[in-house]
Amino acid sequence: MSLQSSIVPAKNQKNQGSLYDLHAPKLWGLILRAHLSQPQSEAVLIKAFVNVLKQVDEKEMTERDFFAALIRSALHEGLPLTCLHAIFSEQRRG
């Protein structure tokens, strides 16, 4: 699926599961880089998905929009912004 393709509204569990399966590993990788406690890391992941899945039910999003919303939500839920800065700095150097 292209990053620009539309996401089907996530009202049913099958669609929610598909979105989770696709994006959770990427978001979890970012969260782990923050070195938060296990319970805090899990809470950030779960809360970010719950928040964004509610948004998907309200409007159509592309895959890119969905993942960006996940990152914003994770930041709101406790993912340190410095973690993202470090990741992007590494990518530029590498």
pLDDT tens, the chain, 94 aa long: 444 566 555 566 777 888 899 999 999 999 999 999 999 999 999 999 999 988 886 777 888 899 999 999 999 999 999 888 777 777 667 6
Distance, in Å, from the CA atom of 62 to the CA atom of 68, rounded to the nearest integer, reads: 10
Single-letter residue type at 29: G
pLDDT on residue 7: 58
Neighbour-count burial of 33, counting CB atoms closer than 10 A to its CB (0-12 exposed, 13-18 middle, 19+ buried): middle
Helix, strand, or coil (residue 12)? coil
Spell out the domain ranges in the chain.
13-93
Domain 13-93: give its CATH architecture.
Orthogonal Bundle (1.10)
pTM metric for this prediction: 0.80
CB 66 within 8 A of CB 56: yes
Residue 51 · residue 71 · CB < 8 Å: no
